[in-house]
């Protein structure tokens, strides 16, 4: 892909490469020696504490909380199979070289992907233009505390202490923190006022507080806290868009531990989210959500104005480079890509166009390139019916262009629309998108997507108190 955002490479210019490879070697040596899981996790915590002193000073609860959440998954996977440290650390992009691990279970698997790729036509004329909204990466923080400090020794702040000057956590939010409920509600209702036909929520309702176990929470309490944020976001979506179809996506932060998702059956997240999304999706879609997070359903509104349009939503955790269940190999977990190919084939046979949603963009550094190549092959084959691929995750205003790599012409086939976040975390202005599209199909097969408008708060610098409503308006 041509990407305006992250591409293949390493995170942080490889500064964490050596600590990563050494940590993996020490852990595997400890496992060979027969050390208990608890001892091995303690080794990881010690390495994390030592590295954080150099890279980004953190309080002792952060490394302990994160690694007690993730550590057992890492250790269990490493106990099954020896993994080369450089290979693993490059696979998760902490080392400069990029992993070339092939997707297990893909070679020799006949999915019946069409060999021909059809070039989409540019839009010519539309008699019935509608709009739909996309909100993503909300990262609501129900523990946000107005007046607290944005300067702390945790990865995310604005929950304790006393803020002064630039560190004051205002009524509307702060650029160093995830967002309070009032700002999320303000954004959703601003989008609702634009009267979209339907809404795409492309994932990540909970905040970036990945170290909860270090704060004394049990695993069950941490999971419930994550779910509470998903429930709150769902309720605000229903309030802001009454009677409007809403199509949600699982992000990498919905689970606890974050990013971690094993092959089905999933013991708590998907059954829980399927209940939260019960008012958004029909029973057949909820069944596949409960199974593994993906689903498909036609787009329909009460007046029947939208014709031949279908939503297909993927579970992106199967390409997530820090999903440690994938340490020993990348595979088509839950047969998701097989399902996608069959679903797109059926949509083409039924004469439907498709809006494809997933949380992590194909060309992002946090998505395994081998998975992305397979997904690119499938989406390219059906580019004539795919209206667009809608994602989030990066928090930035971006796009990717996917092309036909089977010929020297490199014909552009599809666009990945990467919407920016509602959260302000790490210095961003809250934002959402509104797309214009053709409600009906065109006889010549032209693209149904016409344009999009980026809507954002111009600056939070002047949004201090509840009275500063004018400054907190989305433009």
pLDDT score recorded for residue 39: 86
pLDDT score recorded for residue 13: 52
| Two tokens, residue 204 | 């990540």
pLDDT score recorded for residue 228: 97
pLDDT score recorded for residue 4: 33
Q: Which of these ranges, 9-13, 133-137, 351-355, has the smallest mean pLDDT?
A: 9-13
Rounded to 5 degrees, φ, ψ at 247 are -115, 105
pLDDT higher than 90, residue 380: no
pLDDT score recorded for residue 61: 81
d(CA 468, CA 422): 18
Confidence of residue 110 (pLDDT cuts 50, 70, 90): low
For the segment 12-51, what is each residue's pLDDT rounded down to a tens digit? 456 778 888 888 888 888 888 888 888 888 888 888 877 7
- Which residue did the predictor score with more confidence, 379 or 296? 296
Confidence of residue 57 (pLDDT cuts 50, 70, 90): low
pLDDT score recorded for residue 17: 85
Mean pLDDT of 449-474: 80
| Two tokens, residue 447 | 């693209």
pLDDT higher than 50, residue 119: yes
d(CA 222, CA 216): 10
SS (H, E, C) 212-249: HHHHCCCHHHHHHHHHHHHHHHHHHHHHHCCCCCEEEC
Cis-peptide, bond into residue 402, ω within 30° of zero: no
Residue 113 burial by CB count (10 A; 0-12/13-18/19+): exposed, middle or buried? middle
pLDDT score recorded for residue 10: 45
Residue 324 burial by CB count (10 A; 0-12/13-18/19+): exposed, middle or buried? buried
pLDDT higher than 60, residue 11: no
Mean pLDDT of 149-171: 89
For the segment 401-431, what is each residue's pLDDT rounded down to a tens digit? 988 777 777 788 889 999 999 999 989 999 9
- Which residue did the predictor score with more confidence, 178 or 96? 178
pLDDT score recorded for residue 285: 98
Question: Do 258 and 209 touch, CB atoms closer than 8 A?
Answer: no
For the segment 190-213, what is each residue's pLDDT rounded down to a tens digit? 999 999 999 999 999 999 998 887
> What are 451's strand-pairing partners?
436
Rounded to 5 degrees, φ, ψ at 290 are -60, -35
pLDDT score recorded for residue 78: 80
For the segment 78-107, what is each residue's pLDDT rounded down to a tens digit? 877 777 777 778 777 778 765 555 555 555
pLDDT higher than 80, residue 339: yes
Local structure of residue 407 (DSSP, 8 states): S
Mean pLDDT, rounded, of the chain: 85
Among candidate residues 291, 276, 263, the one with its CA nearest the CA of residue 236: 276
Among candidate residues 333, 259, 346, 262, the one with its CA nearest the CA of residue 296: 346
| Two tokens, residue 23 | 């940590």
Host H or E run for residue 391:
strand 386-391
Confidence of residue 7 (pLDDT cuts 50, 70, 90): very low
For the segment 316-338, what is each residue's pLDDT rounded down to a tens digit? 999 898 898 887 777 787 899 99
pLDDT higher than 90, residue 235: yes
- Which residue did the predictor score with more confidence, 402 or 120? 402
Confidence of residue 1 (pLDDT cuts 50, 70, 90): very low
- Which residue did the predictor score with more confidence, 3 or 69? 69
- Which residue did the predictor score with more confidence, 319 or 359? 359
pLDDT higher than 50, residue 2: no
d(CA 367, CA 374): 12
Q: pTM here?
A: 0.91
Q: Which of these ranges, 132-136, 272-276, 315-319, 353-357, has the smallest mean pLDDT?
A: 315-319
């Amino acid at each position: 892909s041509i990407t305006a955002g992250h591409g293949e490479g390493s995170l942080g210019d490889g500064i964490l490469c050596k600590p990563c490879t050494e940590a993996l070697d020490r852990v595997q040596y400890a496992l060979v020696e027969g050390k208990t899981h608890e001892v091995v996790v303690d080794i990881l915590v010690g390495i994390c504490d030592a590295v954080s002193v150099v890279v980004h000073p953190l309080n002792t609860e952060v490394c302990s909380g994160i690694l007690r959440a993730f550590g057992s998954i890492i250790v269990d996977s490493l106990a099954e199979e020896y993994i080369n440290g450089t290979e693993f650390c490059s696979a998760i992009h902490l080392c400069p070289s990029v992993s070339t691990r092939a997707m297990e279970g893909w070679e020799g698997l006949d999915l019946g992907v069409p060999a021909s790729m059809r070039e989409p036509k540019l839009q010519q004329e539309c008699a019935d233009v509608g709009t739909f909204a996309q909100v993503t990466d909300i990262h609501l923080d129900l523990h946000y505390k107005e007046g607290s400090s944005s300067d702390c020794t945790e990865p995310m702040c604005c929950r304790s202490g006393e803020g002064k000057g630039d560190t004051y956590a205002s009524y509307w939010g702060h650029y160093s923190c995830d967002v309070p409920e009032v700002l999320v509600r303000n954004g959703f209702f601003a989008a609702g006022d634009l009267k979209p036909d339907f809404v795409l929520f492309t994932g990540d309702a909970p905040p970036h507080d990945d170290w909860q176990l270090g704060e004394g929470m049990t695993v069950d309490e941490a999971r419930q806290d994550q779910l509470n944020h998903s429930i709150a976001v769902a309720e605000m979506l229903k309030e802001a868009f009454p009677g409007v179809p809403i199509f949600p996506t699982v992000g990498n932060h919905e689970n606890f531990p974050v990013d971690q998702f094993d092959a089905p059956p999933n013991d708590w997240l998907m059954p829980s989210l399927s209940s939260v999304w019960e008012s958004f999706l029909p029973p057949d879609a909820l069944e596949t959500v409960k199974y593994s997070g993906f689903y498909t359903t036609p787009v329909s509104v009460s007046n029947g104005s939208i014709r031949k349009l279908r939503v297909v939503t993927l579970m992106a955790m199967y390409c997530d480079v820090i999903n440690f269940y994938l340490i020993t190999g990348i595979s088509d977990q839950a047969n998701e890509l097989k399902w996608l190919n069959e679903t797109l084939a059926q949509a083409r046979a039924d004469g439907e166009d498709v809006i494809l949603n997933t949380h992590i963009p194909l060309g992002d550094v946090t998505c395994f390139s081998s998975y992305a190549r397979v997904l690119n092959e499938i989406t390219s084959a059906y580019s004539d019916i795919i209206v667009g691929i809608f994602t989030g995750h990066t928090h930035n205003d971006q796009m990717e262009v996917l092309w036909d790599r089977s010929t020297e012409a490199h014909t552009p086939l599809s666009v990945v629309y990467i919407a920016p976040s509602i959260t302000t975390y790490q210095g961003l202005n809250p934002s959402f998108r509104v797309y214009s599209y053709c409600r009906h199909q065109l006889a010549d097969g032209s693209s149904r997507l016409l344009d999009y408008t980026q809507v954002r708060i111009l600056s939070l610098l002047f949004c201090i108190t509840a009275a500063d409503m004018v400054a907190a308006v989305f433009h």
